[in-house]
Structure 1
Amino acid sequence: MRTGVAIDLGTSGFRAQKIDLDTGEIRRTAVTIRNPLPGANIMDHMDFAMTYGLDKAHGLVINTVRRLLEALGIGPEGPERIAVCGNPIQLSVFQGIPIDDLAYAGKKKKEKYHITDRKRESKIIPASEIAGLEIYPDCQVVIPPAIKHEIGADALALIVNAGLPDTDEIMIATDFGTNAEMALKAGGVIYTGSAAAGPALEGQEISCGALAGPHTISDVVLEGPYIRCYILNSEMKPETGDLVDPVTGISVEKGNLRARGITGTGVISLIEQGIAGGLITLPKINTPDHVIHLQDGITFIEKDVKEAGNAIGALRAGHMTLCAAAGISPGDIKVSHMSGAAGTYMDAAKAYRIGMNPYNVDLITQIGNTSLKTAREILLSEDRLRELQDIASKIVGTHVMFATSDVFKKIYILELSYWGEGMSFKMFRKFLKKKSLPETEEPTKTPVIDRRVERDIPVFGDEGYQMIRRTGTYLAMKVEDPRCAEWIKECPTHAMSWKDNMIRIRSDLCDGSNCRKCRRTIPPDIFSWDRLTVMDFRPEETEASDQEQE
């Protein structure tokens, strides 16, 4: 069998599939539950690469890719072809391309630091041109194009799979993830943008949050005074969980599965149901201890409400900013497409009711993981790769940079007031009008929901599915001071270890620039991130106990 591998280099984790190049069939799927770069979002990843070296970031990414190839059953000879998809930062780090032009949005800033934009066009190159993949001398790597700045191949995948190039209807498509790529089709033009929504939509930075995986709460439903939890099983399908008293956490009825955390989709569902049932009055939780208690000790606190609200607000501000660029109001949008893992597992009706889809659309579709699908398509067809390049060339001029947009800034400030300060929706709309911003309507229509896939990865393949809990990616340096045994205990994510006079940091657990507690704890003459090196990929570091085999 001629073998190829399609990889989605996602901000929250990588997804890969082994493909039969002769038949196009998916044979096996492997996913990591985290990105190997320190941090929880794209800004953390960029900061790490810019501050501590592209070589370190590249090494961690390539080690993870090699780990995925091993999990897919690819032998030492390697696959015949690898195709990747993702945002420009992830794709650039994968290739070892400098990302300084992606780090600065403003033209003046780039001129000040003598930074020129790099072309990120589609190409097919030998694996030997990518450091760390030269061990596969007969392999080719397929790289899709980027549109501009932070909008890349993943956004193109969204645009194509949502059918935006082929319609005259006003519609919007959003990848509901950490980087929240979005595209609006209006007046025959496609407008793109990317909102740094943060990791809450994928269950991160939430007190009991977890990435979507088996035994995580993906949905909740109010049943009288109680909350019914729904939990993902080993096939990533929801099963009935406990019926819980949200005030006490006591289960009044036991379900089929235990829970170890709540996903981003569960968070969205809980906020919507909490508001509808009076458990939440933004930004407060209306229980005696200001905590919503779910099954198995999982709790939801007021900080989580604000964290999720910041993400939801960024999405809605992004949608409205694109509307301003197109000269339309959000009420003109007829169709909203949802993609990505969160966009797949999320209850679309609940997401709509709290503003994650424009109010009063006629139709909401859920279309799954478009990035992995596109990686698979360009793996099998060079024509598809050329088509993506053509689309990227046409819409480069209609990208809206939210980081420098006054419209986005003004709307997002209002969103923060709505979600975090108790501003009423009526007052929110009043200020939009006062500031001559696109006005959102009250929701008066119930849209049709078209859920086209049950899972973000619909087909795993006949060889099965593997979730990799440990990628085997480490940063390390030699430190002989015995006080390290105590210092490493200060790491809040337990990413650090000290053995044989070597400090090791599990990069996939490290919170990166969002934390840096190790730098404040360990004297700089003893420990420095600048002196950390990437440990070579070692399969023995990924023990079976750290994996979940389905």
Structure 2
Amino acid sequence: GQSIDFGMLAAPQAISDIALGENGLWYNIVLSDKLHPVRAALVDPRTGKEDRLDGTIARGITGTGTVAAMAVGLETGIIKLPYVDTPDRKIHLTNGITFGEEDVREAGKATGAIRAGHRTLIEEVGVADEEVRTMYMAGASGTYVDPIKAQTVGLIPRVLEKTVQAGNTSLMMSYDILVDDDGLDKMQDVANAISSKHIMFASSKVFEDIYVNEIAYWTEGMSMEMYNEMVQHAGLRPLPDIVRPKEIVRLVLSDIPVIGARGLKTLDDVGVYLMGSFEGCIGCKKCQKECPECALQVSAMGHKKFLIRVNTEHCLGTACKKCQSVCPESVYDFSALKIVKKGEDA
């Protein structure tokens, strides 16, 4: 969800998927308090008119929901790259959340980079598209992303026989290390057995040639036919027609598959703020308005100075940093904020 207007981290109340309903309506699938995806609303993407199906109220859209919105938009024709074909040029989701043309371009640049990475690896290794038979998906993609939608937007290869969604493999690995004294040694043995060839995309001419065309495709309306002509002109193979996987394996239903007898509890109070004041701040509160997690507050200190306070339980500055990027005076520096214990901020 980074760089998306209503983007947010994967958390309760985040739109994690979109499914096509009857009469052009879209099911908006939202994460519950237990991180389970539920059908929360049936929405007209052109007008925003909706029927609530569940008590779960969305407050943003996460990366997997962005993938779904792009895929369903492309398949239904609401997205005609690089435009959104609705009266106000926005796709309407539940609870007033929208997905506009700038979001389409930002999402396209991200998925284009991933597809360029896939194609670069295939070219560098020298394998045919049909030789890549199975795609393993981990993290949020391995939990909530529909593999078919991911394939539509280019997150996984276009020709596959099978996809395996393995879930939060980092968390599972941590668990295995804790319960098995030999777990770390076993994982190191696996790592040592893997032969590798490191390819730096930043310096790869193949990646550069492909990504230039990805940018043109997603943000400038280049046709797929022209895309393939251009990559062939660069001496590279064109994109093959999509072959859907015959088998889709999903190993988990949620990001934390085994919550335990005590259930899942989100820490609401970390006990500290991040706070700071910046010379040149005009108190416009754009940073506050743009924060997708509603974690930031701007208050007047007097003498034309303003205090910025960030609730750390909602943001640690490692995701979007929209607050910093929208500062009209370019004076706000998130990394300069200081840790202050709650109660000492008066």
TM bucket (normalised to shorter chain) is 0.7 to 0.9
What is the aligned counterpart of 2:339 among 524, 535, 542? 535
Corresponding position of 2:19: 221
| 1:151-230 pair list within 5 angstroms | 203-222=1-20, 223-230=22-29
Q: 1:504 to 1:413 in 2, by over 3 A?
A: same
Corresponding position of 2:141: 342
Query: Contact 2:283–2:300 (CA<8 Å) still a contact in 1?
Result: no
Query: In structure 2, what is the Cα distance between the partners aligned to 1:346 and 1:458?
Result: 16
Q: How far has the Cα of 1:514 moved from its partner?
A: 8.0
Query: Contact 2:283–2:298 (CA<8 Å) still a contact in 1?
Result: no
Query: Contact 1:331–1:441 (CA<8 Å) still a contact in 2?
Result: no
What is the aligned counterpart of 2:285 among 489, 497, 508? 489
Q: 1:245 to 1:395 in 2, by over 3 A?
A: same
The one-letter amino acid of 2:162's match is L
Q: Residue 29 of structure 2 aligns to a residue in which SS?
A: strand
Q: 1:234 to 1:413 in 2, by over 3 A?
A: same
What's the CA shift string for 1:140-196, capped at 9, x where partnerless?
xxxxxxxxxxxxxxxxxxxxxxxxxxxxxxxxxxxxxxxxxxxxxxxxxxxxxxxxx
Query: Contact 1:473–1:534 (CA<8 Å) still a contact in 2?
Result: no
What is the aligned counterpart of 1:366 among 165, 187, 190? 165
Query: In structure 2, what is the Cα distance between the partners aligned to 1:398 and 1:206?
Result: 34
Query: Contact 1:245–1:293 (CA<8 Å) still a contact in 2?
Result: yes
For the pair 1:273 / 2:50, whether they are aligned, the reply is no
For the pair 1:318 / 2:117, whether they are aligned, the reply is yes
Query: Contact 2:90–2:100 (CA<8 Å) still a contact in 1?
Result: yes
Query: In structure 1, what is the Cα distance between the partners aligned to 2:129 and 2:309?
Result: 46
The one-letter amino acid of 1:515's match is Q
What's the CA shift string for 1:99-154, capped at 9, x where partnerless?
xxxxxxxxxxxxxxxxxxxxxxxxxxxxxxxxxxxxxxxxxxxxxxxxxxxxxxxx
Q: Residue 182 of structure 2 aligns to a residue in which SS?
A: helix
Query: In structure 2, what is the Cα distance between the partners aligned to 1:216 and 1:534?
Result: 29
Query: Contact 2:43–2:94 (CA<8 Å) still a contact in 1?
Result: yes
Q: Higher mean Cα deviation, 320-329 or 390-399?
A: 390-399
For the pair 1:520 / 2:324, whether they are aligned, the reply is no
Q: How far has the Cα of 1:397 moved from its partner?
A: 5.0
Q: 1:436 to 1:234 in 2, by over 3 A?
A: same
For the pair 1:261 / 2:57, whether they are aligned, the reply is no
Query: In structure 1, what is the Cα distance between the partners aligned to 2:39 and 2:72?
Result: 17
| 1:68-79 pair list within 5 angstroms | none
Query: In structure 1, what is the Cα distance between the partners aligned to 2:101 and 2:269?
Result: 31
Query: In structure 2, what is the Cα distance between the partners aligned to 1:516 and 1:279?
Result: 29
Q: Higher mean Cα deviation, 374-383 or 353-362?
A: 374-383
Query: In structure 2, what is the Cα distance between the partners aligned to 1:446 and 1:239?
Result: 25
Corresponding position of 1:127: none
What's the CA shift string for 1:416-450, capped at 9, x where partnerless?
11111111122222222221224331014443111
Query: In structure 2, what is the Cα distance between the partners aligned to 1:228 and 1:529?
Result: 37
Query: Which structure 1 residue ranges, 5 or more long, are not aligned?
Result: 1-202, 542-550
Q: 1:241 to 1:512 in 2, by over 3 A?
A: closer
Q: How far has the Cα of 1:386 moved from its partner?
A: 2.3
Query: Contact 1:496–1:505 (CA<8 Å) still a contact in 2?
Result: yes
Larger RCO (alpha carbons 8 Å, 6+ apart): 1
Query: In structure 2, what is the Cα distance between the partners aligned to 1:490 and 1:285?
Result: 26
Query: Which structure 2 residue ranges, 5 or more long, are not aligned?
Result: none
The one-letter amino acid of 1:261's match is G
Query: In structure 2, what is the Cα distance between the partners aligned to 1:255 and 1:412?
Result: 41
Q: Residue 329 of structure 2 aligns to a residue in which SS?
A: helix
Q: 1:349 to 1:504 in 2, by over 3 A?
A: same
What's the CA shift string for 1:447-489, capped at 9, x where partnerless?
311111101221112122122456455444578x9x97x5373
Query: Contact 1:497–1:504 (CA<8 Å) still a contact in 2?
Result: yes
What is the aligned counterpart of 2:180 among 378, 381, 387? 381
Q: 1:509 to 1:495 in 2, by over 3 A?
A: farther
What's the CA shift string for 1:495-527, capped at 9, x where partnerless?
3545889945436365559835669366xxxx9
Q: 1:472 to 1:488 in 2, by over 3 A?
A: farther
Query: In structure 2, what is the Cα distance between the partners aligned to 1:529 and 1:299?
Result: 27
What is the aligned counterpart of 1:305 among 104, 112, 116? 104
Query: Contact 1:291–1:301 (CA<8 Å) still a contact in 2?
Result: yes
Query: In structure 2, what is the Cα distance between the partners aligned to 1:265 and 1:478?
Result: 35
Q: 1:277 to 1:360 in 2, by over 3 A?
A: same
Q: Residue 358 of structure 1 aligns to a residue in which SS?
A: coil
Query: In structure 2, what is the Cα distance between the partners aligned to 1:448 and 1:312?
Result: 23
Q: Residue 140 of structure 2 aligns to a residue in which SS?
A: helix
Query: In structure 2, what is the Cα distance between the partners aligned to 1:291 and 1:516?
Result: 23
What is the aligned counterpart of 1:283 among 78, 82, 89? 82
Corresponding position of 2:231: 432
The Cα RMSD (Å) is: 3.1
Q: How far has the Cα of 1:337 moved from its partner?
A: 0.7
Corresponding position of 1:185: none
Query: In structure 2, what is the Cα distance between the partners aligned to 1:529 and 1:454?
Result: 35
Give the TM-score of the pair, scaled to structure 2: 0.83
* Percent identity (aligned): 36
Q: 1:473 to 1:310 in 2, by over 3 A?
A: farther
Q: How far has the Cα of 1:404 moved from its partner?
A: 1.6
What is the aligned counterpart of 1:410 among 209, 231, 237? 209
Query: In structure 2, what is the Cα distance between the partners aligned to 1:309 and 1:472?
Result: 38
